[in-house]
A and B are shown apart, each in its own frame.
Chain A
């Protein structure tokens, strides 16, 4: 799956892509944010210092979701009132993009879903009900977040963002959905709350004293 190396336009370090459809990545050496163009890589910015990390997940962590193997290739980090959380970009075999979020150690896997017109942020309230994928969801949280940084490969260009509002929804049987209002057009991601053990994660970060 690893694609042929290109060189970082900023520092010359070799850049590997683990997923052919990745649009953006970061240089592990100089922290430049690089956008893939038809011919080469373009530097669009530098990753600011990331907050001290507490997630057991890291780039390269692999696991299994609904009988499909996946590898974590990148992440977006957000800050909010209760700390920070990661949206880990996971590449699901045989090559689909999904997201593993780890807010307050509650894990959810979601995939982008095209579901027709989505509600405007101003029209969404806690407790509101929506049905997507034949699943009834209720709004459980509306979170004002701040973009904090990116790392690794992403399926779209995402850098130099400011605030973003997320609307979280849940079903009565463990489904999870997020409306992402960080761009003009909202995006919908639908999936499930997942148990840490059920993901059968490998290549996790090691915490000293917690074998």
Chain B
């Protein structure tokens, strides 16, 4: 039988306005609402006694899932038979959500609830949850208290297997363990528990063949699963793996780098001399293409020396230009002795091919500073630290970013609860 076929639909007339009433739940209805004149009727009474008449709210009163819609949901065919809007107040603001009652004559009832585009699939619990003010436990799963409020029914449509009235008030307490929410509703001395699971509007649209697309959810809902939370864990796991790999490579590099000194010479520079530029004797860079470190030690004291270097391949003329400065200042002031700068400088040139090389050096300084003695040391195949730090940063960054976004997501979730998170690393 096609899902569109109307079932044993009973048609009655509203005793108030005469409009036709459709009864879909086959004798299970306790109250039925005339959508034409907003009368709540006693479905158990053959005369359909009027139990209440209400003024319809002006907004939010149009069900997104029209009553009578049928869809295959959670493995069975369900029909939307009842709709109610309920509201709560917090800090002077009224929040409204919508509940759709679904019916299958064999499976019974379940609901879909919707708030700001966030949907939950809810059923009455079979076992009794244990709860205190802080949390709840249901079938071995722990839930955190999210919110306690008073919910008022503001609009009803269709039929219900229990008593409904507009302005009915119940105390609702929600406990969350995303994607689940465990809710208790207490009216008088009786408490009903329902278990909800976060579902996507698009799945409902598809199941019930609704026109258009599901409204996009706004903000973060109390039991909305954080898609990032799982990936944050995975990212940190991957991050740890990559960091280990980098550490291994770094250690191997450290162990196997030859750190071979290929040139060392002492010079002195007199700023007053006219022609400062000179070239060093040639030296060999043997073996594989590797890093080359040039270290400058200068006997500077409250002086500076700037060296224009060029490492030049004697055969090809290929030059690697770089400038280095060595400055060192020290003194005594009211806070005691101070010092600034350093008497040596080190620079690493990555990936220099083997060959015969020499350095061209052109020192500069202040003519007033006098002669400065310095030494130049060239070492090939030194371990390069910088790239490892950069690699570590590159893999840490996404993990940190995801963790930060996960944290923000949780903060947005709990901001709507009775327990907003207080600060970074704090909260509940």
Chain A interface residues toward B at CB < 8 A: 51-54, 56, 81-83, 104-106, 126, 138, 140-141, 170-175, 193, 195-196, 204, 207-211
Contacts and interface: CB of A to CB of B under 8 A. Distances in A.
Q: Which residue among A81, A175, A209 has the maximum number of chain B CB atoms within 10 Å of its CB?
A: A209
A208 B105 CA distance: 10
A196 B106 contact: yes
B126 interface: yes
A71 B189 CA distance: 37
Contacts of B27: 51-54, 83
Interface of B: 1, 5-8, 25-30, 44, 77, 104-109, 124, 126-130, 137-139, 161-163, 189-191
B7 A209 contact: yes
Given A51-B27, A82-B163, A105 B126 contact: no
B139 A173 contact: yes
A104 B139 contact: no
Q: Which residue among B26, B29, B124, B190 has the maximum number of chain A CB atoms within 10 Å of its CB?
A: B26
- Prevailing SS type, chain A contact patch: loop
Contact of B189 (A106, A126, A138, A195): A126
Given A83-B30, A207-B26, A210-B105, 11 more contacts: A54-B105, A82-B162, A83-B27, A83-B28, A105-B161, A140-B191, A174-B139, A195-B126, A196-B107, A208-B7, A210-B1
Contact of B106 (A81, A126, A138, A210): A210
Contacts of A207: 7-8, 26, 105-106
A201 to B, nearest CB: 8
The 3 closest A-B pairs by CB, nearest first: A105-B108, A209-B7, A54-B27
Contact of A83 (B5, B44, B107, B190): B44
A173 B127 contact: yes
Given A138-B128, A140-B191, A196 B108 contact: yes
B127 A210 contact: no
Given A171-B128, A207-B8, A141 B190 contact: yes
B255 to A, nearest CB: 60
Q: Which residue among B8, B108, B139 has the maximum number of chain A CB atoms within 10 Å of its CB?
A: B108
B174 to A, nearest CB: 19
Q: Which residue among B7, B128, B137, B163 has the maximum number of chain A CB atoms within 10 Å of its CB?
A: B128
B26 A172 contact: no
A52 B107 CA distance: 18
Nearest to A176: B126
Contacts of A54: 25-28, 105
A208 B109 contact: no
A170 B128 contact: yes
A170 B7 contact: no
Contacts of A170: 127-128
A58 to B, nearest CB: 12
Contacts of B105: 54, 56, 207, 210
A41 to B, nearest CB: 31
Nearest to B193: A140
Contacts of B7: 207-210
